[in-house]
Structures are given as structure tokens and as C-alpha cells.
Chains A and B, each alone.
Chain A
Amino acid sequence: MPGSSAPRVNSLALLILPSALLFALFFFLPIGLMAVMSVLTGNPVVMPNVAFTTKHYARMGNDSYYLEVISTTLRIGLWTTLVALVIGYPLAHWMARIKSRTGHALLLMAVLAPMLTGIVVRTFAWMTLLSDKGVINQILISLGLIARPLQLMYNEAGIIIGLVHIYVPFMVLTLTGVIGRIDERLEQAAENLGASPWRAFLEVTLPLSLPGILAGSLLVFALAISAYVTPILLGGFQIMTLPILIYQQISANFNVGFAAALGMVLLVISLSLVIAYNHVLGLVSGQRELQ
């Protein structure tokens, strides 16, 4: 029988061929091309005498404007992640622990429903709420609470509000899975031993849901720093983020090399976060699942 098992493994391995091809064609190839473009003086397809250069990267390092854009992007990403976590965690905990099936279905629908609408539509909806003549400002003015409209958009806060709304479902769904797998009896055991419900949460549920917090945060952060539509519409080109800058470099400046270099920066940030995540997760769960 040992002889017959080898071809079976091979035929199973063939099954991953489509996805492997897909990855190679649409993932590694474009990224590889981008990496190559970021260190060339021009496009080798149209310019025959291109040369190797580091000028795109040097430009980023020498001009504080580009560093400013990178830090704005990261700041928006961090705030979005933090707010999404604060909003998403209680919701996820509720969803994971709710007894009634109808209640669970309703919550899940509430979380998923916004995802059925396009990002552009949702962002425009926020604009009707947040603009100077928007719903919020109009109500506050008519109530006499403020004299002139509050600046709720065309700034980082507006972008963060829009991004949180779009990415909170990713946080909730990631966390719900992890919290749902934590045995409820652990919290009961903590309460039984004298911990208040809040203390039991801090001592037991929160540390055990750390892998979910990390995964959800990573996902939301990576999505938020690469968001394009929402920062443009809610930032109104007043706030410059990396994806907007990349788009401008390609469409307005035709500087594909520099755009590729900026893209590489975005990619390296996300990749280093994934590596850090795996490392931290290894530490956290390594303690738990020794055996």
C-alpha cells in the first residue's frame, strides 16, 4: 500500500494549482514588477535605456512632505483601528454571547448590512451628515447649540469616521469568532471565585481574546492605510495619504517609478505588521498551547 499513497498526494497537490497560478499572476507578478519599477529611471517598455536608481527612495527621505504624508497615513490608520476596536469589541462580545438565535441573526445582519452598499455610496452618506450644511450641523445650529458650522469633514477626523464605519464589520467578525470560542464557564469560574463581572472580563476574557484583537486590528489597519475613496471624498484633497499620493503620481505626474516606490513603502509597512503579528501571536498562544 505505501506505493499507492504517493500518486494520491500528487493528484491532491494538483488541486492547488489554480490558486497557485492565480497568486503568481495577480499577486506576485504585479508586486514584483512594482518592486522592479521602483528602482528604475523609467518604464523599460517605452524607454530602451533605463538604468538602476535609488532616487525615488532618496526623494522620499529628503523631502519632509513625503514623510509627512506617510505619518498622516499611519496616524489615520492607527486612529481608525483604535476606534474600530473600541466600537467593535463590545458588539463582538455581545454577538458571541447572545443566547437568542433571533437576536444573533439580527445583530449579524446589522453588522453585515452596511457591507452590502458600495463604499462610495456610504461615504457620500457620511458627507450629507458631516458637511457644513449637513444634517448634524443643521440640527445643532437650529437648536442654538452652535453659531457657525463645526468642521466635521475635510479633515482627519472626518476620514477616520468614514473609515471606521466601513471597517468595523471586519473587526467585529474577527473578534466574534475568537470570543465565541472562549468557554463561558471560565468567566463564571472567575465570578464564582469573587471577581466582579468586569474584573472577570479583564482577568479572563480579555487576555484570551488577545489573538482576535491582534488579528482584527491588523486587518483594519492594513485596510485603512490603503484606503483611497474615503480619504479623497471625506478629506477633499485637504488631507494627503499614501494611496492618494500614489494615484496622483501615476495619473497626473506620470512618475510610475516614484509611485512604485511609494507603493513599496505601503507594502513594507503592512508586511512588517504581519510579521510582528505572527511573532506576538506565537508568544501569546505559545504559552497557552505548550503541551
Chain B
Amino acid sequence: MSAAIEIAGVSKVYDGGVRAVDTVAMDIRPGEFFSLLGPSGCGKTTTLRMIAGFDTPSSGEIRLDGADITHVPAHKRDMAMVFQNYALFPHRTVAENVAFGLRMRKVDKATIAAKVKAALAMVELAGMEDRRPAQLSGGQQQRVALARAIVISPRVLLCDEPLGALDKKLRQQMQFELKQLQKNLGVTLVFVTHDQEEALAMSDRIAVMNAGRVEQVGTPVEIYDQPRTRFVADFIGDTNIFRGQCVTMDQGTGIAVGNSLALALPRPVAAAQGEVVSVALRPEKITIAAADQSETRSSGTSARGTVESTNFLGGAVLYRIVLDGGQRVLAQQPNSGAGPLHTPGQAVALGWRPADLVILED
């Protein structure tokens, strides 16, 4: 039932020369939960609309299980889309909305009735058959849109920020349910979102997009732990980015940031001496100790600084620290209960493993 989608060098140029999507290439595997993640205007929705057939690529090819569908009209693609505003037919009841796709496929009435009932039961809307969309809450409309899409057993399910309009609690519940549903049905799902937490929590793989291009494709862990570019590192989660000139250090190659901070790199880089290299360091990979105890840490690069602010987040504590060289650094510690919090103004020593530094492409 589920299908593979190949997007091969697809661009979309609008009248007036705006390149909404710029030579995007990605392979979406059968049965995969695949997210297109990026800020608004990054081309993720245009990409989805081209997969659905609402927009035609200016160049490139889209293939469904190897067959070129670039110019196949939307209604012959056998995909189902859940729209951001749900796009439920306001003049039809819930049951009629869900039955629409089956009716277009000329399924007989008895089968339609049975399938609609099953689909509504699956999204826990049994008994709502005769309501109109306007009589439902946002979450219920969301479920109707989902039922309307899955009832036709599409080869691909497309979701355009389907959870964006829901409040946080309901959104988390729907994230879980959608993921479960997708796994049970085994359907290929392409999910567009600008919410990185949502993408990390739900996806098998994520394509991070920016300014019409794909910055990186990978599993949530790869995207978070091994961001390839400065944009990805910055967009996903909190991060510290250091830019410095390439220098030779005792431990191998390193970068010099300003006058007083030198970072050892985890691996040699192609950059020549003196070239600028960016590295990322996640706040939670940094350990903090009061300055007087710092020398006890034998291994690891370290830096000294002063706590600027302490944010208690409940499960963790987020510190903003000014290094002696003037750079600002975010560091996050789990609230493990070991020792008091570091207070603003306190001198601290920071430590991390060179392996936790990620070298970025600009």
C-alpha cells in the first residue's frame, strides 16, 4: 500500500523569478514518517504541494514507486492530504466529508457506510456522523480531516502543519496518535512543520529546509547531534556556535576564538591554517563547576567564565555564561539535585569533550 517518493532535482520558480524551491532532492522510503522542517518561506509547503500535484515543478522530476508523476493531475495521484486549516467541506456532514473520496472512487454504498464508520471509530468520532464541520471543535475537525484522508487507503498521506492550530496539550496527544496511526497503517507520511520539537518527536527522518534548499536529511538523532550546517545547528534546539581561525594546538587541530579561547577539534579539517571554521556545541554537553574546583577535571577542553543568568526550567537549569574572552555561552544542566545552583555573578569553569564539538559547513 505504501509507496516510495523520489524528488529529483526539483525547482519551483514563480512568475517574477522567486525561487521557492531550489533543486531539491530527497528519497522518501515506503512506510516512512518523513518531515519537511524549516522556517516559514523555506519552500517546505511548496514541496508538499508539488508532491500532491497542486503545483507543477519548473524543473526536475517527482517519482512515485519509480513512476514519473511530475505531470499527473492531483486527482489521479492516489494521495491524501490533511490541510493546515483542514479544508473540510462546510456544506457537508462529517460522514459525507469522510465518504467523499470513496464516492469519487465509485465504491458501492454499503462499503462506503462501513468504511466511514470504521474510519470515524478509528479517530474516536463515532456518533458525530451527522454534525457539520462548524459544529465541531478544532481537535474534532482535525480528526475528521484525518479520517477523510485515511479512509481511501492512500499510497501516501500528506500533512501540511495539521497540528498547528491546536493547543499544546491536544497537539501532543495528536502527535502521539498520528504517529501510532501511521505505524499501524504502514502508510508513507510526508509531514510539513516549522516546529522542530514536533519533527524530532514524530519523524523517522527529517529534511531540514532553508531558503528553498535542503540543508540536511537524516534521522532526528543525526539532525540534532550531527548538524551539517550552521543553519541546521541553529534552527534545531539551542546551540552555541563558535567561529574561529584554524590553528595547530598540542592536541591537534583547533580553532582560536578571539584571543583567549582555543577549542580542540574532534577531527582534522580540510581548512588551511588561518581559515575560519564554525563549530557547534549543545548546551547540555557542557559541564559546569565552581571555578575553584575546575582543576579536578583532567580531561576535556575547558573555559572560564562568569554566570550571567540562571533560568530554572524544572527538569533542567539553563545558564547564560559570559566567558573571560567575552563570548556568551548557553549551558544546560539536568536538575539532578547534586549541589546548589550556580548563581549569577559566580565564577565558573566549563568543560566538554572535544567529540561533542560539531564542525559545521557555512
Residues in chain A within 8 A of chain B (CB atoms): 100, 183, 185-186, 188-197, 199-200, 203-204, 207-208, 287-291
- 10 A-B pairs with least C-beta separation: A193-B101, A194-B104, A189-B87, A185-B87, A191-B74, A191-B75, A192-B81, A195-B104, A291-B134, A193-B100
Does A186 lie within 8 Å of B104, measured CB to CB? Answer: no
**Residue of B with least CB distance to A208:** B91
Cβ contacts A to B, 22 pairs, < 8 Å: A183-B85, A185-B83, A186-B87, A186-B89, A186-B90, A188-B52, A189-B81, A190-B89, A190-B104, A192-B52, A192-B74, A192-B77, A192-B80, A192-B81, A193-B80, A193-B149, A194-B75, A194-B76, A194-B78, A197-B73, A203-B89, A208-B91
Task: Tell me the chain B residues, 194-233 only, with Cβ under 8 Å from chain A.
Answer: none
CB distance from A203 to the nearest CB of B (A): 8
- List A contacts of B148 (CB < 8 A): 193
Bound-state Cα–Cα, A100 to B76, Å: 27
Bound-state Cα–Cα, A90 to B333, Å: 64
- List B contacts of A207 (CB < 8 A): 91
Bound-state Cα–Cα, A189 to B89, Å: 9
Known: A188-B74, A193-B104. 20 other contacts (CB 8 A): A188-B81, A191-B74, A192-B80, A193-B80, A193-B101, A193-B148, A194-B76, A194-B101, A194-B104, A195-B100, A196-B73, A197-B75, A199-B75, A204-B89, A287-B91, A287-B132, A288-B91, A288-B132, A289-B134, A291-B134
- List B contacts of A195 (CB < 8 A): 75, 100, 104
Bound-state Cα–Cα, A100 to B15, Å: 9
Bound-state Cα–Cα, A100 to B148, Å: 33
CB distance from B74 to the nearest CB of A (A): 4
**Contact flag A199-B74 (CB < 8 Å), given A183-B87, A188-B87, A189-B83:** no
> Can you list, as one digit per residue, whether each of B262-274 has a CB less than 8 Å from chain A (1) or not (0)?
0000000000000
CB distance from B97 to the nearest CB of A (A): 9
How many A-B residue pairs lie within 8 Å, measured between CB atoms? 80
- List A contacts of B91 (CB < 8 A): 207-208, 287-288
CB distance from A280 to the nearest CB of B (A): 14
- List A contacts of B168 (CB < 8 A): none
- List B contacts of A196 (CB < 8 A): 73, 75
**Residue of B with least CB distance to A291:** B134
Bound-state Cα–Cα, A290 to B135, Å: 7
> Can you list, as one digit per residue, whether each of B146-165 has a CB less than 8 Å from chain A (1) or not (0)?
00110010000000000000
**Residue of B with least CB distance to A192:** B81
Does A291 lie within 8 Å of B135, measured CB to CB? Answer: yes
- List A contacts of B75 (CB < 8 A): 191-197, 199-200
Bound-state Cα–Cα, A209 to B148, Å: 23
**Residue of A with least CB distance to B54:** A188
- List B contacts of A199 (CB < 8 A): 75, 104
> Can you list, as one digit per residue, whether each of B93-122 has a CB less than 8 Å from chain A (1) or not (0)?
000000011001100000000000000000
- List B contacts of A290 (CB < 8 A): 132, 134-135
- List B contacts of A203 (CB < 8 A): 89, 100
- List B contacts of A291 (CB < 8 A): 134-135
Bound-state Cα–Cα, A182 to B246, Å: 59
CB distance from B76 to the nearest CB of A (A): 8
- List B contacts of A197 (CB < 8 A): 73, 75
CB distance from A108 to the nearest CB of B (A): 20
- List B contacts of A204 (CB < 8 A): 89
- List A contacts of B87 (CB < 8 A): 183, 185-186, 188-189
CB distance from A104 to the nearest CB of B (A): 14
Task: Tell me the chain B residues, 294-353 only, with Cβ under 8 Å from chain A.
Answer: none
Bound-state Cα–Cα, A193 to B79, Å: 7
**Residue of B with least CB distance to A196:** B75
Bound-state Cα–Cα, A192 to B15, Å: 25
- List B contacts of A188 (CB < 8 A): 52, 54, 74, 81, 83, 87
